[in-house]
Amino acid sequence: MSIGNSPEDERPFEDDREATGLSVGRALKQARIDAGLTVDDVTNATRVRIAIVHAIEADDFAPCGGDVYARGHIRTLAKAVHLDPAPLLAQYDADHGGRPAPTPAAPLFEAERIRPERRGPNWTAAMVAAIVAVVGFVGFTAFKGGDDGAKNQVAEGSTATPSKSASPTPKKSTSETPKSDPSDSAIAAAPQDKVTVQVSATDGRSWISAKDHNGRLLFDGLLKQGDSKTFQDNEKINLVLGDAGAIQLYVNGKKIEDDFQPGAVERLTYTKGDPQVG
């Protein structure tokens, strides 16, 4: 049996009914009884829990959870028992320090309006940016590579020979430049802004290797006795002589007088300021 199922049992004495200045809870309870409703009836009609209805009718508003909720329950219960909620709310406010000040609407609206929207990463834009960066890099690399290649063909590591026609870029065990003997006129014609090295196998055959200042291979092969090679670069020529004793060198128009031993391997570097053994 639920609490308050018999409204007649809750009817107050006549002197209580005639008393003035009923409290909020007492007024709600009296109106419920006068309407012939039990606490269960009010709970079913308002969805306010039975324990809270009993607490409010006993003027205990702590279970409501605060003034805002207490005022809401008072309004709901008053309508359920056919009372005007305005006087009850005014009395509740007077008993509990006045009605709480309403929260200004404008600041809440402004805060909500300017709240930044959370967005996920824009993968489409990121992918487009990555493709553009890759295409740009490939184009720049191709352009830069072509430009450097043209410069190398014109100014770097070119091999000069005294023959009538220029030989292609030397390859391993490929065509060799025509034989030529060093002459004073050819040596004197060496340009001053480059390093010119002439290698001649005068006393036998020798394997030689020549590279320019970028490390590009100019020649790598065997010079037979009587063969000669001339190399030219803007900065320096790096030589490796397999049998230095069989080789005669002319650098920038001057004969190198170093006493190389037969069968000795020599690693030499010559620049525009030589002849001096590197």
Ranges of each domain in the chain: 7-95, 184-271
Whole-angstrom CA distances from 175 to 156, 207, 216, 243 are 21, 15, 18, 21
DSSP state letter for 235: S
pLDDT at 276 over 90: no
> What is residue 36's predicted lDDT score, i.e. its pLDDT?
93
Other C-beta atoms closer than 10 Å to the C-beta of 259 total 6
**Angle ∠(66,70,73) on CA atoms, nearest 5:** 145
Residues 6+ apart with CB under 8 A from 3: 39, 50, 54
> What is residue 29's predicted lDDT score, i.e. its pLDDT?
94
Cβ(212)–Cβ(275) below 8 Å: no
pLDDT in tens, 29-88: 999 999 999 999 999 999 999 999 999 999 999 999 899 999 999 999 999 999 999 999
pLDDT in tens, 131-175: 988 888 888 877 776 555 544 443 344 444 444 444 455 454 444
pLDDT in tens, 213-263: 899 999 999 989 999 999 999 989 998 988 888 898 898 888 888 778 888
Sign of the dihedral through C-alpha 174, 177, 180, 183: negative
> What is residue 16's predicted lDDT score, i.e. its pLDDT?
38
Q: Top-level CATH class of 7-95?
A: mainly alpha
> What is residue 192's predicted lDDT score, i.e. its pLDDT?
79
Which amino acid is residue 70, in one-letter code?
A: A
The rounded distance, in Å, linking the Cα atoms of 216 and 196 is: 16
